[in-house]
Amino acid sequence: MGDISRTFGAFVSLRRSTLGWTQIRLAGEVGRSEDWMSLVERDMQQVKDLTLLQRLADALGVELSELIALPQPASERARSRPRKVASATLASTSAAEEDDVRRRPFMALAAAALLAPATAQQAAHAEAAAPLAGLEDLLLYGAGRIPSPRREPSQATVAASLVTSRQEFKAAQYDLLARALPGRIAAAEMVGSAEERARNVARLYNVAVRLCIKVGTNNLVAITADRALTAARLGGDPLIIAEAQRMVSSSWRRQGSLARATDIVVVAAEDLLADASVSETARLATRGDLYATAAYTAAKTGDRSYAHALIREAADSAAVASRSSGLLDGVQGVTLHELSVHYELGDAGRAIEMAATIDPTALPTAERQARFFTDVARAFDQWGKPEQCYRALLAAEEAAPQEVRRGAVRDLATGLLRHDRKLPGVRDFAARAGVQII
């Protein structure tokens, strides 16, 4: 079989040993028994399922393509069959050729699955495969369930991982971010003083909350937001604390506690404004974000006057901060929240009028562009205009394909199926969004 160190089983065994894991630990990571893992490492068990191969690759910290390229046994060898000397001798002389021939169909299928465009049904199954499983393990069981980093983390690598995490979120690369975040959080917990560790962990958990809002459940949002706020308070940075409070507010809103969710960010905004340890520009910019979140939540309660008052305060704070810093990020964020406020208050026409004044190409990130088009789609749906709603959803998908998995998009796509005959391609779009079509 050639170099035995490069068989599939030998490679898995070597990599597991390098990580310092037992067979039962690795087996638990991929959801299999210790006996099964023992057979794999002795090259007596094929691993043909691509989902299982991906789990193994993730657990071992290697690329899926690296695992697929390794030779596996030609078939699952019978473990109870008596061995015969003659057949064993014959197998030893022809094993390499036999394995190579029999592996070809498997490799062809694997390559097709990796390189061919995913079907709508495959996309739905991928979404159901718990993309945040690694984050769940970290939250529930601690860093011991996370594969060790390939190199010792440092302050520089932790800082770089935070920048990368934010970039991946802005680019709507949610799957990539979900796979990487647990390891980045675990690494941040290992580097620096207690306060530095807490601040970096809080920053990463704040990103994790936003990711969970996109692709997770309410329970996962809640526990992740709690971790963010707990770490932020230990770190003592007022701006990080304020952002964590905004994430906690989002969690309460998603649980239906709208009044409390509004109160959390309003109090946080006023507390921050009074904190002279933070520059005025930073305080005003963050206050704008907090008030915009409060306005959106107030709009969901139907409190029209309060929602409008809050969004005006948010816009004023963001405008002053923008004049000082020269940055438009905060102003754009408040504008998108205002669009959502109009929709939540049932003012679809006003939302569309406002959307017409926004140049989506000027929005700096794929996530914001997709969020803009999704809100436009929601407004058109509320206005009873399915064709325009569908076009806006297609624009959102073009800007950020992974954004269409959100619950709001699935709900819109489900409604659009009623207009199947006059909206070409809507069934395929609904399937890509994760709608189960019968």
* DSSP per-residue letters across 101-145: HHHHHHHHHHHHHHHSPPPHHHHHHHHHT-TTHHHHHHHHH-GGG
Taking all residues of the chain, what is their mean pLDDT, rounded to a whole number?
A: 84
Report if residue 48 sits inside a domain: no
Distance CA 266, CA 296 (A): 12
Report if residue 359 sits inside a domain: no
Report if residue 330 sits inside a domain: yes
What is the pLDDT, as a whole number, of residue 1? Answer: 37
99 vs 44, 105, 435, CA distance in Å? 12, 11, 41
Report if residue 220 sits inside a domain: no
What is the pLDDT, as a whole number, of residue 49? Answer: 74
What is the pLDDT, as a whole number, of residue 128? Answer: 40
Name residue 174's amino acid. Answer: Y
pLDDT tens-digit series, residues 293-308 = 999 999 999 999 999 9
What is the pLDDT, as a whole number, of residue 82? Answer: 36
% pLDDT > 90, the chain:
56
Report if residue 384 sits inside a domain: no
Read off the tokens for 88. 């064993």
DSSP label at residue 383? T
DSSP H or E stretch at residue 185: helix 174-188
Distance CA 408, CA 387 (A): 17
Q: How confident is the model at residue 324 (pLDDT cuts 50, 70, 90)?
A: confident
Report if residue 386 sits inside a domain: no
Report if residue 317 sits inside a domain: yes
Considering its fold, how many domains does the chain have in total? 1
pLDDT tens-digit series, residues 99-132 = 443 444 444 434 443 334 434 334 433 444 467 8
pLDDT tens-digit series, residues 120-178 = 334 433 444 467 888 998 988 888 777 777 778 899 999 999 999 999 999 999 999 99
Range of the domain at 291: 256-345
What is the pLDDT, as a whole number, of residue 130? Answer: 66
Other CB atoms within a 10 A radius of the CB of residue 101 amount to 11
pTM of the entire predicted model: 0.69
DSSP label at residue 306? H
Report if residue 324 sits inside a domain: yes
Q: What average pLDDT does range 337-365 have in this prediction? A: 93
Exposure string over 328-345, b if 16+ CB within 10 A, otherwise e: ebbbbbbbbbbbbbbbbb
Q: How confident is the model at residue 63 (pLDDT cuts 50, 70, 90)?
A: confident
What is the pLDDT, as a whole number, of residue 329? Answer: 80
What is the pLDDT, as a whole number, of residue 74? Answer: 59
